[in-house]
Structure 1
Amino acid sequence: MTAAQDKERDSRLTSAHNDFAKGLNSYAFFKMPNQAISENLVQETFMKTWKYLARKGEIATMKALLYHVLNGLIVDEYRKRKTIPLDTLLKKGFGPSVNPSDQLFDILDGKMGLMPSMVITTFWAPLFFLRLLD
């Protein structure tokens, strides 16, 4: 790029920042629960637009591109998997709960599942034995 093209790109992005930064910030703040995150997303929007312009990207409507990039960043932020440390969950009262009655029911259900096979084998055992003798 020539110096004139760099200067023109800089002026386009500067004017876009002056014109749309406030609207982008309010839009992002409306979509995100935290103002700091929304401001970071707006800054990242302008950085991505800057990189696009640096690669000689053509922009027909700057506002549409900025809002499109910001929407993508908001979606990406919501899709991030948030991990919560186990200590935090334990402090909030979430913990492994053991209910003895549930364990008892699980044991009894397992025994009841084995009962039909035990009855069948005790009933048919003599017949199998006799069949083997034939």
Structure 2
Amino acid sequence: MRKKIAAAVVLSLGLFGPGIQPASAAPPSIRADIEILRTASLSADGSAVTVRVRSLCADDGTVWESYITAQQDAVFAYADPMLVCDGRRHVQTVTLDVIAPPGQRLKRGTIEVDARIVDEATLTPVATDVATVRVRCLPRVH
């Protein structure tokens, strides 16, 4: 009986041993992530665009900053929204105001949006998303 058990162990090690790999370590947890959702709303006068982003940042002592820029032709818009850093995903609605050139306005169509989460201490981007977003007009209130 011992010989059968020993043979079974040797056989299983011989057949399966080299192919069995130790379980790989879990991927490192995500410290920060940002995703631009694909629709945006234009203010009535075109001086701002509102986008939605899904963000996540770890509550690990890092001071996080976020920057969102948008460009449509030669018109630029910007915002630096506050982040909720508790290790969970949050959806934020962010209004980007036109900053350049003065007096220019955004219009319906598409807009290029760039969103980043940066480690404030090193100014290193930790999470980035760039997307072409469809811009729709806000409904008029009567």
Regarding TM over 0.5, the answer is no
TM-score, normalised to structure 2, is 0.21
Q: Which has the larger radius of gyration?
A: 1
Q: Which structure has more helix as a fraction of its residues?
A: 1
- Greater relative contact order, per chain length (Cα 8 Å cut-off, separation 6+): 2
TM-score, normalised to structure 1, is 0.22
Q: Which structure has more strand as a fraction of its residues?
A: 2
